[in-house]
Structure 1
Amino acid sequence: MTAARDRETEARVTMKRAGAERGHVDGGWWPRSGDLAAELPALAAALESRVGPVARVTYHLDAWGTTARKVRLGDRTVRLEGFRATDPDTVTVLGTDSRRVSLLVVPREVPGGAARAALRSAADGDSVATAAEILSGNGATELR
């Protein structure tokens, strides 16, 4: 793969540094599409150092289109679990050993400057802002 192609397929994820203030989110993610199952391989690869092999992803049912309930990643199956009680601006990714991260989801339609600002804010080690506060504070209002 070329470097340009790698950049087009890698997950756009930012994370708080280890030991940072816990807050509402542990970092941010700016997906390229509304297809959670298609986005999962790159997201799982980006988070493996934090959570290990991904086992589950929880999300808000109305924030994503219809998606498969299980996705194969290599030799394992990852469960995708939608709930209405979950914050629509976040996903939670759980590893096989129960390590987890909660990520702000920047809507894919948000322009690049505002999206990158929201990602930086989500990864700010001192931030305890909610996902909605981070999005609105950076001009990345929800466009879903």
Structure 2
Amino acid sequence: MSATYEDRELPRPEQQDDIAPRLALKGPAASGGLLDGAWWPRSRDLARELPGLVEALDPLWGRITRVAVNPAHWDAVPRHVPGRGHVVKVGWFTEELDPHKVLLLSYSVGRWDLLVVPPGTGAAAAERLMAAASDPDAAPLTASALMAAEESRHGAGAPGADTETTPVRDASAPVRVGSTPVPEEDAVALAVPVIAPGPPAPLVAGT
């Protein structure tokens, strides 16, 4: 898959789908490691997925101002996406950045690295990956190493073999945390609460 780099018109916040992002983050006591948690988007459309991620993380990590991805697994990379009251710049790196990771920079605090669980991943595999990426006591593995380990242990059902894109919204079961039913594939992500992260990792060039 090769992503295009596009400059869409920024949608107004009310145009975004009101769907809670599926996140698992390390707790405040965690330090070290190569990842700060995991994100399980519902599609490969960054312009649609990133605003919700940014909105969820802003209160925890300070204002997110920049996001960087490897375009290998995204349909398109927008130049910027809307935050709540601000604009977030989006960039991409084909060699410097792990294709299974998203990097976020905060205006006043630092940077964080999240494993990106592929959208079409089954619930069991997603649970294992999100738990591994957010475990403060786990071995310090890269995002790609975690994906490879999952595929090695669980074979064809692992996310590395997945080629489908999960629909962004299931119209028959809309998601609103705490107010309406949650689709089965979201249950595992919501069972892992969003936890305020620990101190940010230092910004290191070339990662």
TM-score of Structure 1 vs Structure 2, range by shorter chain: 0.7 to 0.9
Instruction: After superposition, give the CA deviation of every residue in 1:84-123 in whole Å (9 maximum; x if it has no partner).
Output: 1210000011111142210000111111110111001100
Please say which structure displays the higher CA radius of gyration.
2
Match of 1:10, SS state, is coil
Q: Does 1:100 align with 2:94?
A: no
The answer on whether the counterparts of 2:98 and 2:144 sit within 8 Å (CA) in structure 1 is: no
Asked whether the 8 Å contact 1:51–1:94 carries over to 2, the reply is no
Task: Report the TM-score, using the length of structure 2 for normalisation.
Answer: 0.61
- Distance in 2, matches of 1:98 and 1:57, equals 14
Q: Counterpart of 1:133 in structure 2: which amino acid?
A: A
Residue 100 (structure 2) pairs with residue 109 (structure 1)? no
Matched with 2:100 is 89
Q: Which has the higher strand share?
A: 1
**What SS does structure 1 have at the residue aligned with 2:72?**
coil
**8 A contact 1:21–1:126 mirrored in 2:** no
The answer on whether the counterparts of 1:13 and 1:27 sit within 8 Å (CA) in structure 2 is: yes
Match of 2:52 in 1: 42
For 1:141 and 1:67, locate their aligned partners in 2 and report how far apart those are by CA, in whole Å.
Answer: 21
Which residue is equivalent to 1:17?
A: 27
CA contact 2:100–2:116 (8 Å) conserved in 1: yes
Structure 1: stretches of 5+ with no match in the other structure: 1-7
Structure 2 distance, partners of 1:73, 1:18, is: 24
Deviation at 1:55, TM superposition (A): 0.5
**Aligned-partner residue type, residue 132 of structure 1:** S
Q: Which of 74, 83, 86 is residue 73 of structure 1 equivalent to?
A: 83
Q: Is contact 2:67-2:88 (8 Å) kept?
A: yes
Letter in 1 for 2:144: A
Identity %, equivalent residues: 34
User: Aligned with 1:9: secondary structure?
Assistant: coil
Decide which of 140, 147, 167 is 1:135's aligned counterpart. Answer: 147
Q: C-alpha root-mean-square deviation of aligned residues, in Å?
A: 1.7
TM-score, normalised by the number of residues in structure 1:
0.86
Kindly tell me the number of residue pairs found equivalent between the two proteins: 137
Alpha-carbon contact 1:89-1:104 (below 8 Å) kept: yes
* Alpha-carbon distance, 1:33 to partner: 0.7
**Per-residue deviation at 1:42?**
1.5
Distance in 2 (CA, whole Å) between partners of 1:83 and 1:15 is 24
